Amino acid sequence: MPKNAIESKSKMWNLWHGCHKLSAGCQHCYVYRGDAKRDIDSSVVAKTKNFELPIQKKRNDEYKIPSGTLVYTCFTSDFFVEDADLWRGEAWEMMRVRQDLHFIMITKRIDRLQETLPADWGDGYDNVTICCTIENQDRADYRLPIYKAAPIKHKILICEPLLERIDLQSYDICSWIEQVVVGGESGYNTRPCNFDWVMELHDVCVENKVSFWFKQTGAKFIKDGKLYDIKRQFQHSQARKAGINLK
Ligand code: SF4
């Protein structure tokens, strides 16, 4: 992912909305939590009015999203959810046309990547980062071999919500992962995240010289055997205070 894009500007592109719960990490999905407040059924997947945002233009014929922008893609769904199969081709095409933008998406359905790629994908578009989420060892052992073999130019591993200790030792992460991101679970009735598990992932990254970002603690956080309730507004800053991020 181009560093200057991150430092300059970013934009959210939620091209479809809604999803289906798939694995343990989905239990307290923020899409479902947000929709519940507005009485929206999150299991209905529908295109949004922003579907064509990357190619929309202003009156002066300039694109609405300026060149060099980092585009957070599909953050109220999963880009590879089955319901969106008919629309995904157009989405890939917009990413191909806007090579001056960098698109980043997160998926729990990395096992659907191969069957949904555009014909000219090759070993990946330079301007697309696809992040794979794992939440426990079981999903790590299922998704990581698929993710490792997948033709993607930029790979970031997201361990969030981290629900248990995850051993990455056997995955040779230095050769194919750009960054590991770790976080706890937010919301109500959340499952705790233990700082020891975070540190184990951190140590693997140190060993393998891979960038590491402890993004947020989650609402329930265990440190030195003590359980802390952390309010939403402090979950990111508390993680930062741990001082364990690696560039
Ligand atoms: S895959 Fe992501 S968006 Fe879909 S239900 Fe699970 S957590 Fe929510």
Is residue 147 in some structural domain?
no
Return the residue whose CA atom lies nearest to atom 4 of ligand 1: 19
Residue 54 sits in the same domain as residue 171 = no
Is residue 128 in some structural domain?
no
Number of domains in the chain: 2
Q: Quick: pLDDT tens for 5-51.
A: 445 699 999 999 999 999 999 999 999 999 999 999 999 999 999 99
Return the residue whose CA atom lies nearest to atom 7 of ligand 1: 26
Residue 112 sits in the same domain as residue 229 = no
> Residue 3's CB: how many other CB atoms inside 10 A?
8
> Residue 135's CB: how many other CB atoms inside 10 A?
24
Report residue 1's pLDDT band, with 50, 70 and 90 as the boundaries: low
Is residue 143 in some structural domain?
no
Q: Which residue, 73, 105, 123, sits at the end of a domain?
A: 123
Residue 113 sits in the same domain as residue 204 = no
Tell me 246's DSSP state. B
Nearest-atom index, ligand 1, CA of 108: 1
The domain of 178 spans: 160-247
Choose the residue to mutate in 16, 42, 75, 77 for probing ligand 1, maximizing ligand atoms within 8 Å of C-beta.
77
Residues with CB under 6 A from ligand 1: 19, 21-22, 26, 29, 31, 77-78, 108
Is residue 51 in some structural domain?
yes
Q: Quick: pLDDT tens for 190-207.
A: 999 999 999 999 999 999
CA distance 168 to 133: 13
Q: Is the pLDDT of residue 3 over 60?
A: no
Q: Is the pLDDT of residue 4 over 50?
A: no
Residue 118 sits in the same domain as residue 170 = no
Q: What is the pLDDT of residue 8?
A: 66
pTM over 0.85: yes
Residue 115 sits in the same domain as residue 207 = no
Is residue 219 in some structural domain?
yes
